[in-house]
Chains A and B, each alone.
Chain A
Amino acid sequence: MIRLDDITYIRLGTPDLALAEDFATRVLGLEVTERTAKSLYLRSDARAHTLCYVAGDPADQTAAFEVADAAELEAAAASLEALGHRVSAGTAGGAAERKVKDFIAFDDPSGNRIELVLKPEYRGPRYVGARDAAITGFNHIGLNSTDPVRDEIFWTRVCNARVSDRIGDIPLMRINAIHHTLALVRAAGPGIQHINHQVAERGDVLRNYHLLRRNNVPIVFGPGRHPTSGANFIYFRGPDGMVFEYSCGVDEIKDEASHRPRSFSFEPASLCMWGARPGGLIKGA
């Protein structure tokens, strides 16, 4: 069993680093920690970076999870290889680029690029956003899945994810007490479906909503509230079509042993209890 402790960072290719930086700072409210000729590092919490834009193809999208130690990383590589996944070991240069001690990379069954990392770098000074978006940290992602049933088995049996709730065939999965760190959403191909940052208060979601509207940022879904996790949310589109989310008030699952996942029917009210429509975010809803 591959034990994922936390979600660490997202790496996104982009043809326009300047545009990505403008959005990530002026709109999203992240803090730039480093710029190189080919990459832009952004943070949203105590870690040195939680989002990295790399000059290149926007189809190159990677999600990274932290594992506890070198033994876990080695065991993970072995079990993935035994299942037929091609695992590439990280180089020292690659690890430095990712601000981690070591890492391995592989594709999940849908073809999503996943990295498992050791000891991501933290920074002493606290995160100070480029604007007052009230972000408290990078929290979770939605991941495209060409077969959510198959991929749920991968994430829950090969890895340590547990299903917290389901909406139709979308499993919302946790790897710690937070209701979900990973949601699988049916799609034609691999990719990151959305990137979530938590904000401090429920009101901050609405304050950000009005700011996004004023800046003509395309609103994809919300403002709304998920009946599953209880979180207030707003989804909006950034550079290269990537969807970002602010949310607040995600439930924690405190009693791991007694929690049973609930199944919500696949309809708009299961995605938003206020009446917002998911629009193009989720096919068929």
Chain B
Amino acid sequence: MTEPLLVAPAYARLPVTDRAVAGQFAGDILGLPPGPATEGAACFRASQHQNDLSFIAADAKAAAGFELRDDAALDAAEAALTAAGFAARRASPAECRARHVDAALLTADRSGNALDLVLRPHFNGRRCHLLRDSGITGLHSIGLRSTDLSGDLAFWQALGAVISDYVGDIAYLRIDGHHHRIALHPAARPGILNVAFTVEGLDHVMQALYFAGERQVRVLQGPGCQAVSGLAFLHLAGPEGHIFTLLAGDDKVGPKPLRPRRFALTESSLCTWGSVCTDVPEWRTEAGR
């Protein structure tokens, strides 16, 4: 597969028991305005899209949505995944409505992470006016937990994703001109590890640090800087164990083919500035353990 079938992350669907509290975090802390009223979900906008983040029922499965290039990519993705032995089915009209997309292929990787490959996520005519100046400009990437790294890599590679770099066995995958849009983390259980938003710049990452402190939102790691991508980051503890990340910087990689580099799983690979994560097993290094 030469041309990736995917163009960008579309949304994250996160199960919560208390949608109101989760919505308060999205609005008050992240500054995301609500999206359209949606059956069974509370939607929030982080971009021109109707829905970048939605909180769904606690018994539903967390899902990450990625946008397909076009109609042909939908057929090609279905064929490629079926050939590689991954179950996939077309979403019903109701499922498409809940996701604010024209069509979707609902599938899962080997770990069992629900992954939606969607066609034409719906736009909103009004620009995304943030509820506070958090500087969020849209989804950057989704971190996934993986219990079967080679199986999950096969899933993404079937769709044309390319490995940018490794930190230990953490794999960073790109589908467009950015360093990564998906990060696979070896883990004891499947699930979405973190949902990462792009902010305008380092100012907004740092303002979020002090804002989080004032609102008693726990900073899980950062301010830091990823060795692989050069992006500045702040990992925030969201509601019910969900992790939200703010990223700043330019992680565009040129069109030249790159060979994936392997960085050791050490503190300085996960953060060149020296911040340490002790509370998230997937981001712990030997020194942090």
A residues contacting B by CB (< 8 A) are 202-203, 206-207, 209-211, 214, 223-225, 232, 273-276
Contacts of A276 in B (CB 8 A): 210
- Our pick among B206, B225, B272 for the contact of A224 (Cβ within 8 Å) is B206
Contacts of A274 in B (CB 8 A): 203, 206-207, 209-210
Q: State the Cβ distance, B268 to closest chain A Cβ, in Å.
A: 10
CB-based contact B273/A206 at 8 Å:
yes
CB-based contact B274/A210 at 8 Å:
yes
CB-based contact A202/B223 at 8 Å:
no
Which chain A residue has the least Cβ–Cβ distance from B210? A275
Assess whether B286 is interfacial by the CB under 8 Å rule.
no
Contacts of A223 in B (CB 8 A): 206, 223
How far is A207 from B214 in the complex, measured between Cα atoms in Å? 23
Q: Which of B238-289 contact A (CB under 8 A)?
A: 271-275
Beyond known contacts A273-B207, A275-B209: 20 more, CB 8 A cutoff: A202-B202, A203-B225, A203-B232, A206-B224, A207-B225, A207-B273, A207-B274, A209-B273, A210-B273, A223-B206, A223-B223, A225-B203, A225-B206, A273-B203, A274-B203, A274-B206, A274-B207, A275-B211, A275-B213, A276-B210
CB-based contact A210/B203 at 8 Å:
no
CB-based contact B274/A211 at 8 Å:
yes
Contacts of B274 in A (CB 8 A): 207, 210-211, 214
Interface string of B193-204 (1 = CB under 8 A from A): 000000000110
Contacts of B210 in A (CB 8 A): 274-276
CB-defined A-B contacts under 8 Å, sample of 17: A203-B232, A203-B272, A203-B273, A206-B232, A206-B273, A207-B273, A207-B274, A209-B273, A210-B273, A210-B274, A225-B203, A225-B206, A232-B202, A273-B203, A274-B207, A274-B209, A275-B206
CB-based contact B207/A275 at 8 Å:
yes
B residues contacting A by CB (< 8 A) are 202-203, 206-207, 209-211, 213-214, 223-225, 232, 271-275
How far is A203 from B271 in the complex, measured between Cα atoms in Å? 11
Contacts of B206 in A (CB 8 A): 223-225, 274-275
CB-based contact B272/A275 at 8 Å:
no
CB-based contact B214/A275 at 8 Å:
yes
Question: Closest 5 A-B residue pairs measured CB to CB?
Answer: A275-B210, A210-B274, A274-B206, A207-B273, A206-B273
How far is A77 from B103 in the complex, measured between Cα atoms in Å? 82
How far is A228 from B224 in the complex, measured between Cα atoms in Å? 25
Contacts of B232 in A (CB 8 A): 203, 206
Q: State the Cβ distance, B158 to closest chain A Cβ, in Å.
A: 37
Contacts of B223 in A (CB 8 A): 206, 223
Contacts of B202 in A (CB 8 A): 202, 232
How far is A214 from B213 in the complex, measured between Cα atoms in Å? 20
Q: State the Cβ distance, A203 to closest chain B Cβ, in Å.
A: 6
How far is A53 from B87 in the complex, measured between Cα atoms in Å? 71
How far is A232 from B202 in the complex, measured between Cα atoms in Å? 10
Q: State the Cβ distance, B76 to closest chain A Cβ, in Å.
A: 40
Which chain A residue has the least Cβ–Cβ distance from B202? A202
Contacts of A232 in B (CB 8 A): 202
Contacts of A203 in B (CB 8 A): 225, 232, 272-273
Q: State the Cβ distance, A135 to closest chain B Cβ, in Å.
A: 16
Q: State the Cβ distance, A118 to closest chain B Cβ, in Å.
A: 41
Q: State the Cβ distance, B208 to closest chain A Cβ, in Å.
A: 9
Which chain A residue has the least Cβ–Cβ distance from B207? A274
Q: State the Cβ distance, A1 to closest chain B Cβ, in Å.
A: 38
Contacts of B275 in A (CB 8 A): 210
Which chain B residue has the least Cβ–Cβ distance from A277? B210
How far is A275 from B249 in the complex, measured between Cα atoms in Å? 20
Contacts of B273 in A (CB 8 A): 203, 206-207, 209-210
Q: State the Cβ distance, B267 to closest chain A Cβ, in Å.
A: 10
Q: State the Cβ distance, A270 to closest chain B Cβ, in Å.
A: 15
How far is A215 from B209 in the complex, measured between Cα atoms in Å? 21
How far is A14 from B32 in the complex, measured between Cα atoms in Å? 53
How far is A206 from B272 in the complex, measured between Cα atoms in Å? 10
Which chain B residue has the least Cβ–Cβ distance from A212? B274
How far is A224 from B273 in the complex, measured between Cα atoms in Å? 15
